[in-house]
Structure 1
Amino acid sequence: MATTTAKKPCAKCSNGSAVTTCDGCQQSFCTRHFVEHRHELSQQMNNISQEHVLIRRDLSKETPKHPFFNRIDTWERESINKIQAAAETARADLRHLLDRTKNDLNLSVEKLTTELNSCQQSDDFTENDLKRWTEQLKELRKNLEIPSAISIVNEDDIESSIRLIRVYDKQQKQQVTQRPFTPVIRPVENRIHNIKDLICINNEKFGEIDGKANLSE
C-alpha cells in the first residue's frame, strides 16, 4: 500500500504547501513566502552593511572630546590653585620669619657693637672677653647665613589634601594609570611666637624646639 507523506504547513499562510525549510529559523515556507523570507533577510543584511559602513566612517573622524576631559581639566585647575595658595602662604610665612630673625640679629649686633666700642675705648678687656666675643660673632654669622629656627615639615591635614583622580576600564575593572600617587598639599599656618617657632610646608616634622635645628631638604 502506498503511503502519503503529509506536507508541512507554511509558517506564513498556514497552508499545507510548504516546499522548503529555512536552516536559520527552522521554519517551513511555501514558494511565495520563502522568496519573501529571503528578501527580508537580504534587507536586514543591507541594514547591517550600512551600519558597518557608518561605524567605520565615524571611527575615521577625529575623536570628539570626551566629557571626562572637562572633569580632569577642572580637577587640574582646582589642584593648581590649592598648590599655588599653599606655596604663597608658605613664602609669606618664610619671609615673615626671616625678617623677624634678621631684626633679632640686628638687636644682638647693636648690643655687641656698644659693648665692643666701650671696652675697646677704655682698653678694658681680657682673654675671656675676646673668646666670648669671638664665639658670639661666629654664632651671629651662622644664624645670618642659615637661620637655625626655620624648618620645613609636612602637615597631616586630610581636609586640605589633593586627591589624585584615576581612569579605570569599567569592563576589565582595571586601573589605566599603573603607579598611583596621592600628593598631599598642605596650607601653612602662621605660628610665629618667637625666633624658635617653625613654619611647616614639606617633608619632615618638628615640634617647638629649644636650641638649633637644621633646614632639611
Structure 2
Amino acid sequence: MAMACNKAQCFTCNMEKITYPCKGCSKEFCLNHLTEHQQILNDELNNVTNEYNEFKQSINEQKQNSQNVLLIKQIDQWESNSIEIIQQKAQECRKIVTEYLPTFFNDIEKKFNDLNQQIKEIHQENEFNEIN
C-alpha cells in the first residue's frame, strides 16, 4: 500500500518537508519556519503597536501644549519614514521576483516537456483510455 506524499517545499528553506500554510501570506512553511514566521509577524505587530502608542502620546502632548505645528512636522516625518520603508520592501520584492522567476519558468517548462513526452509515448503505443 503506497503512502500519500504530503510534503511540499518550505518557502523559507526550500526543503521538501511537511508544511503548514500561512493564510495571511498564502505561503507554505515547515514547522520550524512557521514558528519563525509567526515570531516575525508578532515582532512587526509589536512595532506597529509601539509606534501607535508613541504617536498617541505625541498627540496627547500636542493637544496639551497646543503646538500643532510640531505635530504636523512629526506627521510629515512619519510619512517620509513610512514611504522609505515601503520603497525598501518593494525593492526587496523586486529582487526576489527577479531571482526566482527564471527558476519558476524553467520548472514549468520542464514539467510541460515531461508531460508532452508522456503524451507522445501514450499516443505512439496507441494504448490509452479516458483515465490516461
Instruction: Name the TM tier (shorter chain).
Output: 0.3 to 0.5
| Structure label with greater radius of gyration | 1
- Which gives a bigger RCO, structure 1 or 2 (Cα 8 Å, sep 6+)? 1
Flag the structure with higher helix content: 2
Flag the structure with higher strand content: 2
